[in-house]
Chains A and B, each alone.
Chain A
Amino acid sequence: MSVLVYVEQVEGKFKKSVFEAVSYAKAIADKLGTTLTAISIGNVADSELNALGNYGASKVLNVAAEELKNFVNQAYAAVIAEAATKESADVVVLSNSFSGKGLAPRVAVKLKAGLIDGATELPQLDGGKFTVKKTAFSGKAFATTELTSAVKVIALNPNAFGVKDIPVEVSIESFSPAVKSTDLLAIVKDIIRATDKVSLPDAELVVSAGRGLKGPENWGMIEELAGLLGAATACSKPVSDADWRPHSEHVGQTGIAISPNLYIAIGISGAIQHLAGVSSSKVIVVINKDPEAPFFKVADYGIVGDAFEVVPKLIEALKAHQA
């Protein structure tokens, strides 16, 4: 018996969402009265792997094979499933990141395991049942789902659990499973990443703007506000449809669903499809010149006013606050 957590590396480093997944997996291991093993695939320095011990991983399986340098879900799933079998894992935890979404279902099929994608809480083990709460209907509801299989796979939503410091002694073991060439048919040709921006899906703070901004030329103040806060930028669907902003910023029912600690919506009306993707944000601020805008009904703080006057004031106040 054990719990296995897959720790996704980006250019040899772990992001906060990984430490969160490790913390979550450690809490499950404690519930089950067992230990936590992490599996890392790709080139990661020992110092970075050791850091996983800070969150409760007592063993780290390090897969450093050159052919697995880039993420290929078919091959990675085979490696993770093999590690799960080797460690007799009952539960496998991953982050519900873009790569995690392509990986978790394959791992689950290999292990004949039920899968929870987008878990928002720790599993409950009452009455011999293993149940996990997850988001459903694009954030309009939650579904508590029972996994009836022997092995369970859980992909944790970013920002749902938090990072918990539980330092334990950690041992690093190199793990070299055989990789089939037929698992490497998808070839990564290029990776293009904007390193100077906070990535939206796992951002803690998000500044978002809609059609109320009138045109792409007015996003300077949105970027400035986000920059000062260390927030990611987002937008409503019509804004990305009109190419004012890239599609990757579109949040809502048909865009990305997010649950940051703070969501600031500027010049966004609050249509049901928009709210679907953002309503689980912990604190919502709405800035809109129309007091009847539906968004105010789900906001914690609101300012009825013209964005072109309010946002510069916020920028100034923030600069003063930070000085």
Chain B
Amino acid sequence: MKILVCISNVPDTTTKITFTNDNTQFNTSGVLYIVNPYDEIALSKAIELCEGGKGTVTVVNVGESATDPTVRKALAIGADDAVRINAVPRDAYFTAFQIAEYAKTTDFDMILCGRESIDYNGAQVAAMIGELLDIPSISIIKKLDYDGTTATIEREIEGGKEVVSVTGKFVASCAEGVSEPKIPTMRGIMSARTKPLQVIEAVATEELAKVIQFETPAPRGAVKLIPAEDAAQLIGLLHEEAKVI
């Protein structure tokens, strides 16, 4: 079995988000980058499925050499080898196109992504890869069982879940519940240094969307404090002043 896991390189979750160049660019100075938390879940699941010699896990990233530490981290967690497609991931279509083109060169049984990258929050790449490869894609999954040919997947829906079965190749985007993120062991970190990290060049494709302006949310006014003894007043305020109930 061969599994491809798509890894994006994102700002650490504690990052204070600011912009430069007239709010047209994300300010990367002093920002710590991590493996997108959902991609860690996808990677852990892939490693679990391949345990005991049942298969191999390849991670792929679309990024420039600055993302190599994130790719090495994925190798330290337990991926067998890595591919970096050398390009700035401009938009979701560009990213998905690169990954789909690479995936065509190798016979992967499944492709796992995270539910969304926590920077641009597209939740687009997985389903786009599915479309580009003309195979099923299941978005935002909570559980994945695989018997070697058929996957039984639980996907999130409003107020519940749906159970889907797929035989043959597929793409899935993983949310919490699919697997517990694994922490790299000392041995993992040591061996990551010598695991193969192949760098390939991107293929040309059009750009369909581009961010032209960022902004941060308007600050809220000062909080109106209600004494605990008079908690009941809140209901009146929400009804008459805020008009939300």
Q: Report A's interface with B, CB cutoff 8 A.
A: 10, 15, 71-74, 77, 97-99, 101-106, 108-110, 112-118, 131, 135-149, 182, 185-195, 197-202, 205, 229, 240, 247-248, 250, 253-255, 257, 261-262, 272-273, 276, 279-280, 282-286, 296-306, 309-310, 313-314, 316-318, 320-321
What CA separation (Å) do A139 and B131 show in the bound complex? 28
Residues of A within 8 A of B135 (CB): 185
Residue B155 at the chain A interface, CB threshold 8 Å: yes
CA separation between A144 and B24, bound complex, in Å? Answer: 9
- Closest B residue to A17 by CB, please name it: B158
What 6 A-B pairs have minimum CB-CB distances, sorted nearest first? A305-B228, A102-B139, A317-B232, A193-B160, A114-B208, A199-B159
Q: In the complex the two chains form, is A143's CB within 8 Å of B214's CB?
A: yes
Q: How far is the CB of B197 from chain A (nearest CB, A)?
A: 27
Chain A residues with CB below 8 A from B176, complex form:
240, 247, 250, 254-255
Using a CB–CB distance below 8 Å, which chain B residues touch chain A?
11, 13-14, 16-17, 19, 37-38, 91-93, 96, 118-128, 130-132, 134-140, 142, 152, 155-168, 170, 175-177, 206-217, 220-221, 223-228, 231-239, 242, 244-245
Bound-complex Cα distance A257 to B216 (A)? 16
* A144 and B211 contact, CB distance less than 8 A: yes
> A193: which of B126, B157, B164, B233 is its contact (CB, 8 Å)?
B157
Query: Is chain A's binding surface mostly helix, strand, loop or mixed?
Result: mixed
Contact across chains for B231 and A303 when beta carbons are under 8 A apart: yes
Q: Are A318 and B158 in contact (CB under 8 A)?
A: no
Which of A99, A187, A191, A298 makes the CB contact (< 8 A) with B220? Answer: A298
**Chain B residue at minimum C-beta to C-beta distance from A316:** B232
Contact B210 A145 (CB under 8 A): yes
- The answer to whether B127 and A135 touch across the interface, beta carbons within 8 angstroms, is no
Q: Complex formed: what's the CA distance from A261 to B239 in Å?
A: 12
